[in-house]
Chain A
Amino acid sequence: MVIHYKCPNCGSDMTFDSESGMLSCGSCGRKDNIQNFSDEFITATFEVDEAKQYHCENCGAVIITEAETTATNCSFCEAAVVLGDRLSGDLAPAKVIPFTISKDEAMDAFRKWCKNGRLTPKGFMTADRIKGITGIYVPFWLYDLDSKAKVNAVGTKVRTYTRGDYIYTEKKFYDVYRDIDLSYVKVPVDASEKMDDVLMDKLEPYDYKNLKEFKTPYLAGYIAEKYNYTDQELLSRVKTKVQPYIDDYISSTINGYASVNYKNKQIHTSQKKAYYTLLPVWMVYYDFDNKEHIFAMNGQTGKVVGKPPISFRKVAGWFGGIAAITFIGMKAISFAVGGVLW
């Protein structure tokens, strides 16, 4: 099933417009609200042998896609197409955060980010070799989690005092118990095999105020992928992700001790809900020094992540500069206090 959006006015291809959040026509400028866009203008065709091939609704050419792709552009006529059957049934996303940063804004934001790179080589900072920029809806699972924690610990309070010629150290031991309910909402975990987990984790947080019910037109004009891992398969990953949050909360409830020694920590985390959600990411491909560097930008907040090249000279410069200034500062302090420089 290939979905293609035709403008009700002029019949041109329509794509999602990140600025207005509506489906818009590039030719006549018509904008339509996605939540009530009439099905009449969405052409959906079922293919006979659709596991293998999709044909563009617009020009009839074969759409070349990878197995994960759910939205793309026709490589011949550039029309935005959405592969509906890869977005239905079990594969139907529940939610989506639409792009709020357009391609141009993304380019600008990326260039600005490069300029601020204090340790990146000079040639990199100009950001004039951006090879490509692609807007991708990355599949995520947003988990609602309930945790129960039962903690036994021994807390120690220490007091020292002096009587006569002796210094006394008094240690008081306490039996500490906590029964805690914890709840976390919409913790995101990326469900795409291709995407680097560390990179995706750094893109957070997303603003959930713009979380929308999923509709296919949001994908028009972007690349979108379907999940490779189910919510069950990624449950352990989200559990490890919230583990430090839980530990931190537990220790925040145990106060007033010099040291706390945990005897028993039972944490049971269960999945209340998991929403299959598409989150917007701009992928930037940048050639520098014969190497391709990949960066990801949060398509909603503009946060950029990825390992930029590091200039040894700049590192040395910053190191030397900071060390020299600190040293002069130390000398100034010693002169102010002791009246000598050495």
Chain B
Amino acid sequence: MNKHTWTVVISFFAICLLTLGTMAGASGTDRHIYDDAGLVNETELAQLEQLAKEHSEELETTFLFLTTNDAEGKDVVTYMKDFFDGWADENGQEDAVLLTIDMDNRDVFLAGFGSAETTLDDDRIDLVLDKVMPHIANQQYTEAFREMVVTSSKYMEFRPGVNPENLLFKWGFQLGVSVILAGVIVGIMAYNSGGRVTVTNRTYVDHNHTRVNSNRDRFINKTVTKRKKPSNNNKGGGGGRIGGGGVTGGGRSFSGGGRSF
């Protein structure tokens, strides 16, 4: 092979790599943050874009952040739906997780579209919001989005329908159970190493002369106490709740949940 052929081969591979690279990039979009309300400053914006890009590529689901000061008279869900229809048509992308902060109505809404509707269902969205809301209450909007991206990505790796916050999945719990079980078993082994007591309370009983001569079980009195049934909606950090998933005007169904702040 001469020099010329080498150049051709190398350029060919370079072009292939470039195309692959752009194709991978095209699975999401360059822009993840639509901060119309101006809640995030310039330096943070770049960091958030980077974070959103990484997680979006890994999970093949685009993480979006939408903020607004003017909901055009719509409620947060409608505003979010309309935004997403427009965004999805424009980018040709249906799998997305969208966090909307509506400063006009002071509502937050988190929605999962496409595959995220099952991997991030209403229950998981509720769990994510539990972690996101404290940041929003403290006006740390950057931190809120970051928390949403990290927690959602973590949850979306779990099999659909499973509660990702279940104790069973916690490292501490798994370690604790292992250590306690091992401790108990080894403890019993050590305790019994010197021989066990194998006499039971039946060993020396003379059954012919052991009996109950008389017994009495007489009802004396009774007490009844009552308490109110605990109501179920005691969560929510002060704000009201906004119902679950639905369908957008463009026919896209989603899982979702929102809260006021």
Chain A contacts to B: CB under 8 angstroms: 117-120, 146, 154-155, 162, 165-187, 201-205, 242, 244-245, 248-249, 253, 303-308, 310, 315, 318-324, 326-327, 330-331, 333-334, 337-340, 342
B190 touches A (CB below 8 Å): yes
Do the beta carbons of A175 and B175 come within 8 Å of each other? no
B171 proximity list for chain A (CB < 8 A): 342
The interface stretch among B49-57, B136-144, B215-223 is B215-223
B213 touches A (CB below 8 Å): yes
- Measured in the bound complex, the distance between the Cα atoms of B198 and A222 in whole Å is 27
B203 touches A (CB below 8 Å): yes
| A-facing residues in B53-95 (Cβ within 8 Å) | none
A204 proximity list for chain B (CB < 8 A): 197-199, 203
- Measured in the bound complex, the distance between the Cα atoms of B225 and A183 in whole Å is 44
B168 touches A (CB below 8 Å): yes
Chain B residue nearest in CB terms to A304: B195
Do the beta carbons of B193 and A338 come within 8 Å of each other? no
Chain B residue nearest in CB terms to A180: B212
- Measured in the bound complex, the distance between the Cα atoms of B196 and A308 in whole Å is 13
A310 proximity list for chain B (CB < 8 A): 190, 193
Do the beta carbons of B194 and A337 come within 8 Å of each other? no
Between A and B, 23 residue pairs with Cβ closer than 8 Å are A118-B189, A154-B220, A165-B229, A171-B222, A174-B217, A175-B220, A176-B215, A180-B211, A181-B213, A185-B205, A201-B199, A202-B194, A204-B199, A242-B204, A249-B201, A305-B194, A323-B182, A337-B159, A338-B159, A338-B164, A338-B169, A340-B158, A340-B159
4 A-B pairs closest in CB distance: A305-B195, A183-B209, A339-B159, A323-B182
Do the beta carbons of B204 and A185 come within 8 Å of each other? yes
| A-facing residues in B166-206 (Cβ within 8 Å) | 166, 168-169, 171, 174-175, 177-179, 181-183, 185-186, 189-190, 193-199, 201, 203-206
* A contacts with B: majority SS: mixed
Do the beta carbons of B220 and A166 come within 8 Å of each other? no
Quick one: CB contact mask for B154-170 with A, threshold 8 Å, 1 for yes?
00011100101010110
B210 proximity list for chain A (CB < 8 A): 180-183, 249
A303 proximity list for chain B (CB < 8 A): 195, 198
Given A307-B194, A326-B182, A327-B174: A185 touches B189 (CB 8 Å cut-off): no
- Measured in the bound complex, the distance between the Cα atoms of B194 and A307 in whole Å is 4
- Measured in the bound complex, the distance between the Cα atoms of B172 and A342 in whole Å is 11
Set A165, A185, A205, A308: member contacting B228, Cβ < 8 A? A165
Do the beta carbons of A146 and B159 come within 8 Å of each other? no
- Measured in the bound complex, the distance between the Cα atoms of B188 and A319 in whole Å is 12
Do the beta carbons of B194 and A168 come within 8 Å of each other? no
Do the beta carbons of A322 and B157 come within 8 Å of each other? no
A322 proximity list for chain B (CB < 8 A): 178, 181-182, 185-186
Chain B contacts to A: CB under 8 angstroms: 157-159, 162, 164, 166, 168-169, 171, 174-175, 177-179, 181-183, 185-186, 189-190, 193-199, 201, 203-206, 208-229
Do the beta carbons of A248 and B201 come within 8 Å of each other? yes
Do the beta carbons of B158 and A339 come within 8 Å of each other? yes
Do the beta carbons of B158 and A173 come within 8 Å of each other? no
B164 proximity list for chain A (CB < 8 A): 338
Do the beta carbons of B168 and A333 come within 8 Å of each other? yes
B228 proximity list for chain A (CB < 8 A): 165-167
Closest beta carbon of chain A to B151's beta carbon, Å: 14
A172 proximity list for chain B (CB < 8 A): 219, 221-222
Set A205, A244, A315: member contacting B203, Cβ < 8 A? A205
A201 proximity list for chain B (CB < 8 A): 197, 199
- Measured in the bound complex, the distance between the Cα atoms of B171 and A155 in whole Å is 43
- Measured in the bound complex, the distance between the Cα atoms of B87 and A307 in whole Å is 76
Given A119-B193, A170-B222: A183 touches B159 (CB 8 Å cut-off): no
- Measured in the bound complex, the distance between the Cα atoms of B216 and A177 in whole Å is 5
Do the beta carbons of B181 and A178 come within 8 Å of each other? no
- Measured in the bound complex, the distance between the Cα atoms of B227 and A322 in whole Å is 45
- Measured in the bound complex, the distance between the Cα atoms of B211 and A180 in whole Å is 6
Do the beta carbons of A338 and B217 come within 8 Å of each other? no
A320 proximity list for chain B (CB < 8 A): 182
A242 proximity list for chain B (CB < 8 A): 204
A179 proximity list for chain B (CB < 8 A): 212-215
Closest beta carbon of chain B to A128's beta carbon, Å: 20
Do the beta carbons of A202 and B197 come within 8 Å of each other? yes
Given A168-B225, A169-B224: A117 touches B193 (CB 8 Å cut-off): yes
Do the beta carbons of A174 and B219 come within 8 Å of each other? yes
Given A117-B193, A339-B162: A181 touches B217 (CB 8 Å cut-off): no
Chain B residue nearest in CB terms to A248: B201
Closest beta carbon of chain B to A151's beta carbon, Å: 9
Do the beta carbons of B166 and A178 come within 8 Å of each other? no
- Measured in the bound complex, the distance between the Cα atoms of B164 and A115 in whole Å is 47
